[in-house]
Chains A and B, each alone.
Chain A
Amino acid sequence: MNKITYFASETWASLRKNLILAVAAIAVVAVSLGILALVVMGWNMFSNMIKSAERKVGEIDVYLSDLTMEEERQAIEAYLVSIPEVDPLQVTYKDKETALQEFKERFKDQPELWEYLTENPLPNSYELSTKDPKDVGVVVGEISNNAPYRERIEDIKSASGAIEKLENIFDKFRQIGIIGVIALAIISILLVSVTIQVAIFARRREIGIMKLVGATNWFIRWPFLLEGVFEGLLGSIVAILVSWAVKVWILDKLIDNLQFLRLSLSSSLLWVLFPCMIVGGIIIGALGSAYALGRFLEV
């Protein structure tokens, strides 16, 4: 208890002395963790949007005519399963009743779309996935050229190019985001380490005296380590507050106003993201002070 109050008061006194630098370090930690939060939230919203899209990248729907006979259907199924690029475990038959059920479920908020139907306009279909999403074009071509009972296949649909492009763009966004976060994290570590170096320099006389009277290395290091960790922690708290504000005032509004995009943010995400940010802040602070201590505190 004694020691804890000692370390805490030393840390606080030192922080106050180089306030400007400490604030700068805290701000940069906050910016890097805040950008991390934005990337993660943006990525989550986007992947939720993709998930709710009709067809995902790599999926193909094959619609059958209502005239298809049972043995024709079986022949077509056998053929689909045998295409090498197709994942044979991901070929599923969906009959028209199921399709209508799913349609009603999906548009249950807009009953005017299905209430007045007298007969089921939806076809029987196969849903299949390619082993590798980039083979979609090949498989679509293969089916339209070589399928048995070709005249029974009314339509072949795959994820639109738009979704594919979006996914590529978001992959880039994620990559740039991750690189940016790493770069900013390194800058924050360096900045925290500068504040600790200044703190060490300001107290070099005291450190010399501590060594003289027999302080152990860790006794000397602890307040500095704590100072860095405290800066990291404070930065992460700022980042959490800011990302929470961004979520409440921007993202939630976006989700409400752009309903047609089917945006959503998984609510459990923040319960994982925020603790991770705190841990991240603490690690940045600890690494920053460890770096400064390793280089500038000869003990």
Chain B
Amino acid sequence: MIRMRRVTKVYKGNVYALEDVTVDIERGEFAFLVGPSGSGKSTFIKLLIKEEEPTGGQIYIADTNINQLRKWKVPYLRRKIGCVFQDFKLLPHKTVYQNVAYAMEVTGKSHRIAEQQVPEVLKLVGLGHKLESFPDELSGGEQQRVAIARAFINRPPILLADEPTGNVDPSLADGVVRLLEKINDSGTTVIMATHDKQIVNTFRKRVIAMENGRIIRDQDRGVYGYE
């Protein structure tokens, strides 16, 4: 599903965010991308959705080399990849329903389809009763569930989550990851960047550990493993 070959990303000021990263992530996998802050996790994710361009190396998604992807095709790539972020990125003046329906409207789907599917997906994330609430009326955990619903509404084959539990109360963080697990069970490939040791150790998934832009460890059913 996702293949990186000797990928390097150098930011302005000669900052090596990724260095010689080679990794394969198969369809249907669930992988934690772990490492201390500044180790290159967010850059890894930004490269996959072409928010940043790699300085060197090749990235393939579903056998398409996305380095060579035409600019106008990038939106269609992003429709195949759901994204969840630490800061939720919800629109404050739209309701929960509207925030999720938005992701469908943007891809040109009709209101009728949205009216059918949005409540369904919100029920799946446990917010079937909060359709008309606004984001600031929800807890962090609930907001992140809305963001996950939005990322999942178009049934993307890949879901990327960058520190999704970072702004969520620790007691609710498990629930967020369990939701991602549920989405993974439906066949979606999930990559979750995190430096939450407790979560990684609880869920025991594949762990890709990074340090200073390099992959230093890659193990199935792994643990967080930093001091």
- Asked if A and B are interacting partners, one says yes
Chain A residues in the interface with B (C-beta under 8 A)? 2-3, 6, 205-206, 208-217, 219
- What is the CA–CA distance of A208 and B49 in the complex, to the nearest angstrom? 13
A sample of 25 inter-chain contacts (CB < 8 A) reads A2-B111, A3-B108, A205-B91, A206-B91, A209-B102, A210-B106, A211-B78, A212-B49, A212-B89, A213-B102, A213-B103, A213-B107, A214-B75, A214-B76, A214-B77, A214-B78, A214-B79, A214-B103, A214-B106, A214-B107, A215-B106, A216-B75, A217-B72, A219-B106, A219-B108
Would you call A211 and B75 a contact (CB within 8 A)? yes
Q: Is the CB of A208 within 8 A of B89?
A: yes
Assembled-state Cα–Cα distance A287/B154 (Å): 35
Would you call B125 an interface residue if the criterion is a C-beta within 8 Å of the partner chain's C-beta atoms?
A: no
Q: Are A212 and B78 in contact (CB under 8 A)?
A: yes
Sort A-B residue pairs by CB-CB distance and give the 5 closest, nearest first.
A214-B79, A214-B78, A215-B106, A213-B103, A216-B75
Q: In the complex, which of the residues B83, B108, B111 contacts A212, with contact meaning CB atoms closer than 8 Å?
A: B83
The complex places the Cα of A209 from the Cα of B98 at a distance, in Å, of 13
A206 to B154, alpha carbons, bound, how many Å? 19
SS class of chain A's interface: helix, strand, loop or mixed?
helix
Contacts of A2 in B (CB 8 A): 110-111
Alpha-carbon separation in the docked complex, A249 to B88 (Å): 60
Cβ contact within 8 Å between A209 and B89: yes
Interface size on B, residues (CB 8 A): 20
Residue among A6, A208, A210, A212 with max Cβ neighbours from chain B (10 Å): A212
Complex-state Cα separation, A226 to B146, whole angstroms: 31
How many Å lie between the Cα of A6 and that of B107 in the bound state? 13
A3 to B110, CA, bound (A): 9
Complex Cα distance A213/B75, Å? 8
Q: How far is the CA of A212 from the CA of B103 in the complex (A)?
A: 9
- Cα-based distance from A214 to B105 in the complex (angstroms): 10
Q: Which residues on A sit within 8 Å (CB–CB) of B91?
A: 205-206, 209
Query: What A residues does B103 contact at CB under 8 A?
Result: 213-214
Residue of B whose beta carbon sits closest to that of A3: B108
Asked whether B3 is an interface residue with its Cβ less than 8 Å from the other chain, the reply is no
Q: Do B105 and A6 touch across chains, with their CB atoms under 8 A apart?
A: yes
* B91 nearest in chain A by CB position: A206
B150 an interface residue at 8 Å Cβ cutoff?
yes
In the assembled complex, the Cα of A210 lies from the Cα of B72 at a distance in Å of 14
Contacts of B154 in A (CB 8 A): 213-214
Question: Complex: how many Å from CA A74 to CA B194?
Answer: 108
Q: Which residues 45-79 of B sit at the A interface, judged by CB distance below 8 A? A: 49, 72, 75-79
**Chain B residues whose C-beta falls within 8 Å of the C-beta of A210 in the assembled complex:** 106
**Chain A hits for B111, CB < 8 A:** 2
Closest B residue to A215 by CB, please name it.
B106
B9 to chain A, nearest CB (A): 19
Chain B hits for A212, CB < 8 A = 49, 78, 83, 89
Q: Which chain A positions have C-beta within 8 A of B78?
A: 211-214
Q: Which residues of A contact B108 (CB under 8 A)?
A: 3, 219
Contact partner of A216 (CB less than 8 A), chosen from B49, B72, B83, is B72
Residues in A with CB closer than 8 Å to B102 are 209, 213
Which A residue sits closest to B73, measured CB to CB? A216
Tell whether, in the assembled complex, residue B150 and residue A213 are in contact, meaning their CB atoms are under 8 Å apart. yes
> Which A residues lie within 8 Å of B79 (CB)?
213-214
7 A-B pairs besides A211-B78, A213-B154 with CB distance below 8 A are A2-B111, A6-B105, A205-B89, A213-B79, A214-B78, A214-B106, A214-B107
Docked Cα-Cα span, A208 to B83, in Å, equals 12
Contacts of A211 in B (CB 8 A): 75, 78
Within 8 A of A (CB), among B160-187: none
Task: Give the shortest distance, in Å, between B171 (CB) and chain A (any CB).
Answer: 28
Q: Is there contact, CB below 8 Å, between A217 and B89? A: no
The interface residues of chain B lying within 8 Å CB-to-CB of A209 are 89, 91, 102
Hey, what's the 0/1 contact readout for B82-93 against A, CB within 8 Å counting as 1?
A: 010000010100
- Which residue from chain A places its CB closest to the CB of B103 in the assembled complex? A213
Complex contact A217–B105 (CB within 8 A): no
- Residues 120 to 172 of chain B near chain A (Cβ within 8 Å): 150, 154
Point out the residues of chain A lying under 8 angstroms from B107, CB to CB.
213-215
Question: Please, which residues of chain B bring their CB within 8 A of the CB of A215?
Answer: 75, 106-107
Closest to B151 in A: A213
Alpha-carbon gap, A208 to B111, bound state (A):
22
**Shortest Cβ distance from B83 into A: residue:** A212
Q: For residue B89, give the distance in angstroms from its CB to the closest CB of chain A.
A: 5
Least Cβ distance of A18 to chain B in Å? Answer: 16
- CA of A93 to CA of B77, assembled, Å: 81
User: Counting chain B CB atoms within 10 Å of each CB, which of A211, A212, A214, A216 scores highest?
Assistant: A214
Most buried by A among B83, B106, B108, B111: B106
| Nearest CB of B to A207, in Å | 11
B72 surroundings in chain A (CB, below 8 A): 216-217
Chain A residue, CB-CB nearest to B77: A214
Q: What residue of chain B has the Cβ atom nearest to residue A5's Cβ?
A: B111
